[in-house]
Amino acid sequence: MKILVINCGSSSLKYQVIDSETEHVLAKGLCERIGIDGVLTYQPAGQDKIKYEAAMPAHRQAVELVLKQLTDPENGVLTSIDEIDAVGHRMVHGGEKFACSTLLNDEVLQTVEELNDLAPLHNPPTLVGVRACKEILPDTPMVGVFDTAFHQTMEPKAFIYALPYEYYEKYAMRRYGFHGTSHRFVAQRTAELMGKKPEDIKVIVCHLGNGASISAVNGGKCVETSMGLTPLEGLIMGTRSGDIDPTCIEYIAHKENISMEETFEIINKKSGVLGISGVSSDFRDLEEAANNGNKRAALALDAFCHHVTKYIGSYVAVMNGVDAIVFTAGIGENAPGVRAQVMENFKYLGIEIDPVNDSIHGDEQMISTADSKVKVFVVPTNEELAICRDTVEIVTKEIVTETVKKVLGK
């Protein structure tokens, strides 16, 4: 099958076309500045990137342009849009309604819309993207893959906030967790690398990118994760504060004489390692600055690693043990120094990091020594491939169900 994978933001749309048999990416790209002016990037496999300006007043035009580019007689990878067997959409917040990926029919879209309050910045643009695709490709099945779904196996004791219980009942306030598609993909791949069944191992996945989260996966099921009602909770991130005393928010607003909205802008966009260092949210810049003697950049890196260490330690306790710790995403895959620093404090678990760690940038590799009791891996995440696989599985099931119904004359 040829699957179009779409990840829609408020002014952007990332896309990939994947051949599900070979799992090769046939083409990928990005629409930016939707609703402003519009820039399209397109890269067919093995060829150079093309980038040009094109009017995108709304997501519909962005989808149309992507499809036009994919079927371009000169450098397209499809002869017609009919070659697209299904579209897989990255959805952010599925609340408690979606514990797995699902076919996006009108009823499901209505339910997602009802969850908009939980993710006012993320869910509405995703829905706009799905609806634009449905209008242009009305007969192509669409599947939604939710960032929150994998974490739905958490027990109430892990997801409940210690607030008046009625807020959970009335407003669905609880820990949901995000990056679930990545945590699931990486945990499954780790089991494969260890030659074990997911049911038989305890894994801690450290998804360390600009947004960062950790999850504890016991027997293939998520039992804890660091992000909460929104992606703001948990680790120190590129520009997000992660865990802070909630009183800080009121205190900043009061002292700086700014509104709640402005305060949250600071907590989301001007905090994290950027806030501590005053240098950058990018770890490459921070490492360079720290090496050149910048103390605040060094502090930001230290604080980041300290928090990752703290979460891993607590998740070992939550699972009563661990078989593998895995690093993924931009920092996890590319920053050997961060991995080594975090693992320093787990010698008590019998973890020894192999010097091979220093040379691993984005490759799949075990970075603990062969006799290390707990294994440590770098596993590159691939959320698009995970979305493609789910889409194929759901569409195939649907085809089988429809065929059986026809055969039975229902």
Q: Which residues are catalytic?
A: 147
Binder among 5, 223, 276, 329 for ligand ADP (CB under 6 A): 329
DSSP one-letter string for 108-128: HHHHHHHTGGG-TTTHHHHHH
Contact flag: residue 315 with ligand ADP (CB under 6 A): no
- Closest approach, Cβ 361 to ligand ADP, in A, equals 6
Q: What distance in Å separates the CA atoms of residue 303 and residue 298, rounded to the nearest whole number?
A: 9
What stretches of 172-219 show up as alpha helix (H) in DSSP?
180-194
Of 43 and 369, nearer to ligand ADP (C-beta) is: 43
Piece of the chain touching ligand ADP by CB under 6 A; list 7-15, 137-145, 225-233, 329-337: 329-337
> Measured between alpha carbons, how far is 29 from 49 in angstroms, rounded to an integer?
8
Instruction: Please identify which residue in 31, 173, 331, 385 interacts with ligand ADP, judged by CB under 6 A.
Output: 331
Cα torsion angle, 183, 186, 188, 191, sign: negative
- Among the listed residues 284, 295, 373, 397, the single contact to ligand ADP using CB under 6 A: 284
Residue 29 or 209: the one with the smaller Cβ distance to ligand ADP is 209
Least CB distance from residue 28 to ligand ADP, whole Å?
Answer: 14
How are strands ordered across the β-sheet holding 142-146?
Answer: 50-53, 39-44, 24-32, 13-19, 2-8, 86-91, 142-146, 102-103
Q: Looking at residues 34 to 93 of the shown chain, list those that interact with ligand ADP (rule: CB under 6 A).
A: none
Least distance between ligand ADP and beta carbon 336 (Å): 9
Nearer to ligand ADP, 141 or 238 (CB): 238
Site for ligand ADP in 353-372 (CB under 6 A): 361
Residue 334 makes contact with ligand ADP by CB under 6 A = yes
Letter for the amino acid at 175? R
What is the bridge-based pairing of β-strands 39-44 and 50-53?
A: antiparallel
Pair 1, 20: CB distance under 8 Å:
yes
Residue 39: φ, ψ to 5°: -135, 130
- Among the residue ranges 146-154, 160-168, 203-211, 289-297, the one whose residues contact ligand ADP (CB under 6 A): 203-211
What distance in Å separates the CA atoms of residue 397 and residue 119, rounded to the nearest whole number?
Answer: 30
> Other CB atoms closer than 10 Å to residue 409's CB: what's the count?
5
Instruction: Provide, rounded to whole angstroms, the least separation between the CB of residue 406 and ligand ADP.
Output: 43
Give the max Cα distance, the chain: 75
CB of 240 to ligand ADP, least distance (A): 10
Among 71, 210, 309, 396, binds ligand ADP (CB under 6 A): 210
Q: Which residue's CB is nearer to ligand ADP, number 44 or number 330? A: 330
- Check residue 300 for interaction with ligand ADP (CB under 6 A): no
CA distances 335 to 174, 282, 300, 301, 345, Å, are 32, 11, 14, 11, 17
Nearer to ligand ADP, 134 or 179 (CB): 179
Sign of the CA dihedral with 112 first, then 117, 123, and 127 last: positive
The distance of closest approach from Cβ of residue 167 to ligand ADP in the complex, given in angstroms and rounded to an integer, is 29
Q: Applying CB under 6 A, does 119 fall inside the site for ligand ADP?
A: no
| CA atoms of 213 and 18, how far apart (whole Å) | 27
Instruction: Tell me how far apart the alpha carbons of residues 314 and 321 are, in angstroms, rounded to a whole number.
Output: 10
User: Which CB, 282 or 393, lies closer to ligand ADP?
Assistant: 282
The interface region with ligand ADP, picked from 292-300, 327-335, 369-377, 396-404 by CB under 6 A, is 327-335
205, 187 Cβ separation under 8 angstroms: yes
The piece of 124-132, 204-212, 261-269, 339-347 that touches ligand ADP (CB under 6 A) is 204-212
Helices H / strands E in the chain, number of each = 14, 14
The minimum distance between CB 328 and ligand ADP, in angstroms, equals: 8
> Which amino acid is present at 1?
M
What is the x/- site pattern for ligand ADP, positions 212-251, by CB under 6 A?
A: --------------------------x-------------
CA 409 vs. chain centroid, Å, equals: 42
User: Which range of residues in 59-67, 205-213, 249-257, 352-360 is near ligand ADP by CB under 6 A?
Assistant: 205-213
Q: Which of 25, 204, 236, 335 binds ligand ADP (CB under 6 A)?
A: 335
The verdict on 209 binding ligand ADP (CB under 6 A) reads: yes
What is the binding site for ligand ADP (CB under 6 A)? 209-211, 238, 281-284, 329-331, 334-335, 361
